[in-house]
Amino acid sequence: MKVIGIIPARYESSRFPGKPLVDIGGQTMIQRVYQQAKHAATLHEVIVATDDQRIYDHVRSFAGNVVMTKSTHQSGTDRCAEVVQQVQGFDVAINIQGDEPFIDPQQIDLLVACFETPSTEIATLVRKVATLEELTNENKPKVVLNKKGEAIYFSRQTIPFLRGERIENWLSKRPFYNHIGIYGYRTNVLKLLSELPVSDLELMESLEQLRWLDNGYKIQTALSSHTNDAIDTPEDLKQIIDKYF
């Protein structure tokens, strides 16, 4: 099984323009993500996928692999689909978030391991919710799993709902799971996903994985214990720098 890691990177961002090139302790965010991904034992190649010449030139400056993609893609999944059309010969593609500069390479390996099961089409990671703040935070999407560890539904609301129980007691009654937004796809499935029309569930929750569930695809999950630090805003960047430096 040959696996490629793809890091989609856009310059334009409504909340933090240019964030792939921000400095974090002497290195840019995209360089840190790239270097972390290179430490994953299961990846045969790592590529940054961008539509911006500034990001392209920067990745080349530190001898990273990078490809230019269309500027019209609506999601990282669509950008990854274009890459596997350009760079063929891979069985599985891992979509690595470009705004997690300290991603644990073992998380990537954990995700790749899902594809040792031949029936796995798509895979992602989840983590047990540890606090009430996480449980109620709409910026930390929740996921409900079936007994096979497959995702049934994702939501920004707290799911499942425990009727008759005060929300302060929910974590003591059953495990809840946050979604970690790293995805893996078989490359033949990835092409099909990129051709699907946007679904109403996806639009309502602003979660692209609902498009796949809506169209009958199964999403296998693996449980990670690692807490991911994503940078969505300048305030997040400050917190990351304070934490690590």
Ranges of beta strands (E only) in 41-130 are 45-50, 66-68, 92-95, 122-128
**What predicted TM-score, i.e. pTM, was given to this entire model?**
0.95
Please report which confidence band the pLDDT of residue 6 belongs to, taking 50, 70 and 90 as the band edges.
Answer: very high
87 contact partners, CB below 8 Å, separation of at least 6: 4, 45, 47, 67
Q: Is the pLDDT of residue 14 over 80?
A: no
Q: How does pLDDT run across 179-196, given as a tens digit for each residue? A: 999 999 999 999 999 999
Q: How does pLDDT run across 69-78, given as a tens digit for each residue? A: 998 898 899 9
pLDDT at 114: 98
Q: Which of 86, 82, 69, 98 lies closest to 8, judged by CA?
A: 98
CATH of domain 3-126+179-236: 3.90.550.10
pLDDT at 229: 86
Q: What is the mean pLDDT of residues 57-86?
A: 95
pLDDT at 15: 80
pLDDT at 133: 96
> What is the overall mean pLDDT for the chain?
95
**Extents of the domains making up the chain:** 3-126+179-236
Q: How many DSSP H helices and E strands does the chain contain?
A: 10, 11
Q: What is the mean pLDDT of residues 78-99?
A: 96
What percentage of residues in the chain have a pLDDT greater than 90? 90
Q: Is the pLDDT of residue 175 over 90?
A: yes
Please report which confidence band the pLDDT of residue 228 belongs to, taking 50, 70 and 90 as the band edges.
Answer: confident
Q: Is the pLDDT of residue 13 over 90?
A: no
Q: Is the pLDDT of residue 154 over 80?
A: yes
